[in-house]
Structure 1
């Protein structure tokens, strides 16, 4: 086991728990109960849920996931009533997740939320210390109507940093506009049968370079990027497309199955256009190709998330191809040692 893995797996013992509450390490056998808990939490937070079993399975199904995830389940009378989780996205960035059964007494829910955030911070600091990182950041996601999570985030010192908008296009009867015959843009499906495929590295280069000027961008190595895709059960390279002008790749779109199980919807996980391709219809061509293919596959809609302050004006682009705004979520950050 590497030094990094040892640091990530170093246990952090939670502080005193309320009477009658037990805690233990989460495992693959907990997936059904965790899925039920997390779906109920999403319903309470935003009125709907799209969480799939595969997304929870991912916590436990690869060495990478096991090395980067630290999760505890909370039980009351032998029933799973909560989860505390930290995911190491980068060595200096840690995503915290707390979900507590909201049907429990409010005082107990609040106490377990407070304990969960304190535990998550200590986990992040412990792992960061083991990796030699002096200034780790803790991240938390808050949906716009989730007053409970917002209240605890703000009380614990998190700051709201950025809004992200979920957008959607409904595909019932969708017909893409006829392409402009004068357009130089050619869209083709990426061919990525294995890790040695040229299109795999091209997609990495296009997506990485096109996001350099976006909020909170952090470059991954090609090897780490590929490993991330392998650990993602819902990644769908059959819905990846490259856009070319004069034979040169200037844009890429990566489809994903995040919303397939719950909503029968396609999902655009990444869409990037290089500077030399911007303003030339590249993004629209990629989106319309994706919409047409998803419609042919029988999907009912396509979704994506966009930075509300995108420097490329992406929100207006998506509206121009027929997408509309649905939900808003916020990135909250805390620097424990700031």
Structure 2
């Protein structure tokens, strides 16, 4: 691909930032070709030994996931590849969220770099391009509104903490990943007046809406759209309604725990792990022991499935004391993540 041609093709598109330049590297945007997907998979899977590696992926899964980015990330605009000596060694992308009920926009930069190539100023070049792409989008679609750049990394990866600090970002939130070994599971019965029911497709939207409502008082809530709902339904490694534990009070959803099992993650990491992806109790039903009962039931179910551990992520400043609740249930902190922010200046 010729960089000059690429530049000419996007010259008239105001929400496209120019391609970066770095000696020894060639940069180009995502085109949707089979080769692009193969390069993404190759880079992701090459990071197997990295401490923040999640799971191996496939072209099929990546193609499925990337088609649901929607307005948050337009792949052809917001994904950039870096090539050196004929080998694609990194890619980056940005996505955007809008804060709940406010004209305030957050742009998340994600960098995927092949081991051995966090050098030559490449990460800095990728991050700078992500920031430029965010500014281009903000100017084109939300001129005059405020916004910020975001980045996330694990606290234990010193070189990434140093990298993002030098780029002018400040830590704004901490997230603990907590793990339960599925031994010594405390038992809490479901309070009287509530019942559990198998989840039916006709209930999917009600579950989605009840969960979003329950999180309205949490930090960093975003506007949710129909596109977000369809994306939720599409992620099969996350959306597994046969595992959902939903407590009903008559015709009202009171609380839920939404477990999921990522088969590719378990296979690539050689473990038997489940995630408690969402745990929520709606306001009228808080303080009645519903969360404990549903977590207890979920852990018991996962143990019967021969899984060996359950994991969740919690905001260390959760306004409802969730972190302490999980500790009383037998969860222990495995690692901590950091959300970073830098103001977006047009």
Q: Could you say what secondary structure the match of 2:26 adopts?
A: strand
Q: CA deviation at 1:141?
A: 0.5
What is the TM-score normalised by the length of structure 1? 0.83
The corresponding residue for 2:124 is: 114
Residues 174, 185 of structure 1: alpha-carbon distance in 2 compared, 3 angstrom cutoff: farther
What do the CA deviations read for 1:308-333 (whole angstroms, capped 9, x no partner)? 01011101111222211101001111
CA RMSD after TM alignment: 2.9
1:207-246 pair list within 5 angstroms: 207-221=211-225, 223-234=226-237, 235-245=239-249
1:98 to 108, 111, 136: 111
The corresponding residue for 1:186 is: 195
Q: Distance in 1 between matches of 2:161 and 2:139?
A: 28
Residues 75, 66 of structure 1: alpha-carbon distance in 2 compared, 3 angstrom cutoff: farther
The corresponding residue for 2:135 is: 125
Q: Distance in 1 between matches of 2:160 and 2:189?
A: 45
Gaps of 5+ in 1: 1-6
What do the CA deviations read for 1:18-55 (whole angstroms, capped 9, x no partner)? 22x122224453445434433554743x3x63224167
Q: CA deviation at 1:9?
A: 9.7
Q: Could you say what secondary structure the match of 1:291 adopts?
A: helix
Q: Distance in 1 between matches of 2:23 and 2:138?
A: 28
1:1-338 pair list within 5 angstroms: 10-19=15-24, 21-26=25-30, 27=32, 28-41=34-47, 43-44=49-50, 46=51, 49-53=53-57, 56-58=62-64, 60-62=66-68, 64=70, 68-69=74-75, 70-90=78-98, 92-104=105-117, 107-108=119-120, 111-133=121-143, 134-171=145-182, 177=187, 179=189, 183-192=192-201, 197=202, 199-221=203-225, 223-234=226-237, 235-245=239-249, 248-258=252-262, 259-261=265-267, 262=269, 263-337=271-345
Residues 9, 322 of structure 1: alpha-carbon distance in 2 compared, 3 angstrom cutoff: farther
Gaps of 5+ in 2: 1-11, 99-103
What do the CA deviations read for 1:45-66 (whole angstroms, capped 9, x no partner)? x3x6322416744553347289
- Count of aligned positions: 318
Residues 18, 100 of structure 1: alpha-carbon distance in 2 compared, 3 angstrom cutoff: farther
Q: Distance in 1 between matches of 2:179 and 2:66?
A: 30
